[in-house]
Amino acid sequence: MRTLKGPAIFLAQFAGDEAPFNSFDAICDWVAGMGYKGVQVPSWDARLFDLEKAADSQDYCDEISGVANSHGLEITELSTHLQGQLVAVHPAYDAMFDGFAADHVRGNPKARQEWAVDQVKKAANASRRLGLDRHATFSGALAWPYIYPWPQRPAGLVEDAFDELARRWRPILDHFDECGVDVAYEIHPGEDLHDGVTFEMFLERVDNHPRCNILYDPSHFVLQQLDYLDYIDIYKDRIRCFHVKDAEFNPTGRQGVYGGYQGWADRAGRFRSLGDGQVDFRAIFSKMAANDFDGWAVLEWECCLKHPEQGAAEGAPFISDHIIRVTEKAFDDFAAGGADRDLNRRIMGIGQ
């Protein structure tokens, strides 16, 4: 068994144009003051991190690590959620996802996709320079608009979509392998990899690639009504990153899982700050410890009601209180009788 590392915090939801959220040094000082020990860094936010420099410059990576260390923090992972999303975009989402890309490739899906692949590969290089062995991202999606089987899907549509998704990601996974870094896909609605079955469909198509892994976030499973505890046991060998995020699902006679096109505050399923939702984190942290998860417990704050600064302040002690310091001995060792093979044989009536 292992003791999880943490608490850590994903910086994406907090970065902004005002201090202390507008520079890596200032935001590290802010989160360290709340008791966090690690930061997951969004690689697309130039206010905090320069991905181009990090991919090519060991000096820059040493500098950025030094800034984190000066505040008593470690960089837990880099994230390419936005760039990973653009590796595969269905045309229905072209306009909505275009804002994730650099200005010079917007409006050009082919150039945007090539840019996204290059960005994710650069994140692999940067992760290696930073001494990181895992990376957080999204898979993107080509089949998502057809998630509900009406109208009837043409035969092979989903299979062809997953074949293409795997074709796009395979060289990226190979590059991560060369860099010694795992890719942890956040299993997330809106991505083709949104539950266990879809992850397995993709994993099969990339030939069970050793770098193809999972970012586990139970909040997305609450909203799908999927057993998020069983998920840990099924995929424990592929879970490499962990977002600690809460959620609730309160169906009514008017709406359920699909949400009735309502905004977040009015949906039956919605994300909440830690401790305000329905996720059984004590059970999750117990399973993660028992299953030898050796990574970080990272707060991803998303809540439609609570202010983010309050959520961040409450998140560090919440995670700390749930991390289990694993035991090195059995609770009943005081009653142990020692090892005695002859005694064991007598107890079982063997050889008498």
Separation between Cα atoms, residue 250 and residue 154, nearest integer Å: 34
Amino acid 339: pLDDT:
72
Separation between Cα atoms, residue 87 and residue 313, nearest integer Å: 34
Separation between Cα atoms, residue 4 and residue 13, nearest integer Å: 23
Is the separation of the CB atoms in 349 and 40 below 8 Å? no
Residues of the chain where predicted confidence (pLDDT) is lower than 70: 330-338, 351-352
Separation between Cα atoms, residue 270 and residue 272, nearest integer Å: 7
Amino acid 333: pLDDT:
67
Q: What is the token pair recorded at 50?
A: 């320069």
Amino acid 130: pLDDT:
98
Amino acid 342: pLDDT:
83
Amino acid 337: pLDDT:
67
pLDDT in tens, 14-65: 999 999 999 999 999 999 999 999 999 999 999 999 999 999 999 999 999 9
Q: What CATH number does the domain containing 249 carry?
A: 3.20.20.150
pTM of the model: 0.95
Residues across the chain = 352
Q: Where are the alpha helices (DSSP H) in 80-195?
A: 81-85, 94-97, 109-129, 157-179
Task: Count the domains in the chain.
Answer: 1
Domain coverage including residue 237? 5-348
Handedness of CA 146, 149, 151, 154 (dihedral sign): positive
Amino acid 331: pLDDT:
67
Cα 350 off chain centre by: 52
